[in-house]
Structure formats: C-alpha cells, structure tokens
Chains A and B, each alone.
Chain A
Amino acid sequence: MRILYFILSAILTTNSVAAHEMTPTYPNLVPSYVDGLFSAKLTMFNARKDVDYYEIGVFDTAWEPVPFASSSKILKVPYGSKKTFEVFVRREDRSRAVFICSLSKLRTNESAQAIISSKICSRTDGELP
C-alpha cells in the first residue's frame, strides 16, 4: 500500500502542470506620460510552482538587446498570480524594439535534474493575420 502511495505521488509530482503566459501577443508602443518615451503594457501569469521571478528583456529582430526601463527588470510573480507591467523605450529605439520577452528565472536548488526554462516573447511590430 505504501509503495502504491509512493508511485501515485511520484506520478502526480512529475505530471503537475506548470504554466507561463504573457499577453498581448502584439502590444503597441504608444507615447507615454514622459516626453520622449514610448511604452507598452503587458500582463504575465505564473502557474509555475518552481518559478517566482521572471526577467524582462527587449530585443531587436537580430535578438540584440535594446535599452529599456521598467519598474523592475526582474519581476516577482508569485505562483498563481497575474502581474501587469509597463516597458518604456526611447523614441529613437522605438522601431528597433521588436520583441518584449519574459524569461523564467530558475532556482539553483531545484530538485529535478533536467530543468525547463520558459521564455515568451511578444512582438511590437506584429499584425493580426
């Protein structure tokens, strides 16, 4: 019986779903309240128990980093919660800032041997198909 409980708990542990979501797919960079800066608002949802922090990054089409500002580049998004954040880029970087990404930050003491890092990128120059 104890073995059965062990097997069941192992299956449930390894198969527990953990999700990372970020919307919208195509955010708009619009003039912000600060002169010379454009901003976009995005929302992230964390359903990964093994992740509490996400790193925000802005990139051009060649995946080169683009300077940006936000309330924090590392966002704390506790398990099961949603967070809306704003990304600011300079007017001169507006056309270069194509991808806005969130990358899960993994703990070094994670128990699983092969760990999955997740990254979702929205696109500022995208259009609805």
Chain B
Amino acid sequence: MGKKSIIAASILLASAASAEETVIEGNVQSKCIINTDVAGVYGNPSPDKLSTLGTDGGVKPVIRFDVAIANYYLARIITPTSFSTAPSLPDVVNWTGSVATGEVSDAGMSAYDAAKVTYDATSEFDLTIAGSTWFDVTSTAEYGYGRAFPGGTYRAVVQAECIAQ
C-alpha cells in the first residue's frame, strides 16, 4: 500500500511539473548603434588629389546606423576638413565631402537623402524609421593650385554621431 502511494504521488508530481510554463521575457528599448563597416581609403588619382571615390582608386567609408525604435535619434556625419596625420603642408588644402544613404533595411529610408540637412561639412539625417541605414561618405582633398602632395602618410577622420532627440 505504501509503495502504491509513493508511485501515485510521484506520477502526480511529475504531471504537475510537466504542466509548468516557462516564460521568456524581453524588452526592446530605444538605442542607437554606430557600426563602422568600412574605414575607407584615399586614392591618389593625380599628384594634387586624394579621394575616397572608387573611380579615383579610393574606398568610401561606410557607416551603418542601427536604431531599434523610430524617431528617437538624429544621425550626424561630419566629413574631414583637415588631416589628422600628414607631412608638413605649407599650402592650403581644399576639402569637399558628401554623405548619401547607401543600402537600407526599409525602403522608406530612401527618403532620408531628400530630407537631409547639410551645413559646412555636416550632414544630418532624422532617423524616422527603425532599422539599419548605411551611409556612404565621400571625401576629397586637393592641394594648393595643382600642387603635388608631398610624399608621406595622410589620414583624416570622419565623425559619425547619433544624437538622442
């Protein structure tokens, strides 16, 4: 009788255990992640020019912004206006730069370019759609009036900012 009770109790306990539910919890919070997908390289198509354009032998820096929820962040990208590393340059360097959306995870993000705000070397994009946006950065430096850049290593910094709004 005792053995039977133990068996019955263990069956009941086992079936009670199998009826338990496991709850998985999670929450999506607003956040911005800046991904530096491609660091970029300057090509030197002519002695007086450094450019990240593919046609000039360069590689465009590509920055990806991931936002979990729409309308929380502003993407601000500042193209270079000086070298962080360069040989001595007695003449002036003329800088041009631009930023454009590349790949997008949502077709609606293609409208970011039309709504872009540009001033000085800065481009601002309102991240109104959740997902990933890749921004292609173009930077060109031309030295003096057709003067050749002195030999050496040249580096410039692209600043990518994600500002909560």
8 Å CB interface, B60-89 against A: 61, 63-64, 66, 71-73, 80, 84-85
Candidates B33, B158, B165; contact of A115 at CB < 8 Å: B158
Tell me if B109 is interfacial: C-beta within 8 Å of chain A. no
Tell me if A37 is interfacial: C-beta within 8 Å of chain B. no
B136-165 contact mask (Cβ, 8 Å, vs A): 1 or 0: 010100000000000001111111111111
Q: Which residues of A contact B30 (CB under 8 A)?
A: 24-26, 128
- Would B35 and A25 count as touching, CB distance under 8 A? no
Query: Chain B: how many interface residues by the 8 Å CB criterion?
Result: 41
B32-51 contact mask (Cβ, 8 Å, vs A): 1 or 0: 11111111111000000000
Tell me if A17 is interfacial: C-beta within 8 Å of chain B. yes
Q: Which residues of B contact A48 (CB under 8 A)?
A: 36
How many A-B pairs with Cβ below 8 Å?
Answer: 122
B89-102 contact mask (Cβ, 8 Å, vs A): 1 or 0: 00000000000000
8 Å CB interface, A84-129 against B: 99, 106, 108, 110, 112-123, 126, 128-129
Tell me if B55 is interfacial: C-beta within 8 Å of chain A. no
Q: Which residues of A contact B63 (CB under 8 A)?
A: 116
Residue of B nearest to A113 (CB): B42
8 Å CB interface, A33-87 against B: 48, 50
Query: Chain A: how many interface residues by the 8 Å CB criterion?
Result: 33
- Would B156 and A20 count as touching, CB distance under 8 A? no
- Would B72 and A120 count as touching, CB distance under 8 A? no
What separation, in Å, do the CA atoms of A27 and B61 have in the docked complex?
31
Give 19 new A-B contacts, CB below 8 A, not counting A19-B66, A115-B158. A17-B35, A17-B64, A18-B37, A19-B33, A19-B35, A114-B40, A114-B61, A116-B36, A116-B157, A116-B158, A116-B160, A118-B162, A119-B160, A119-B161, A119-B162, A120-B161, A126-B165, A129-B71, A129-B72
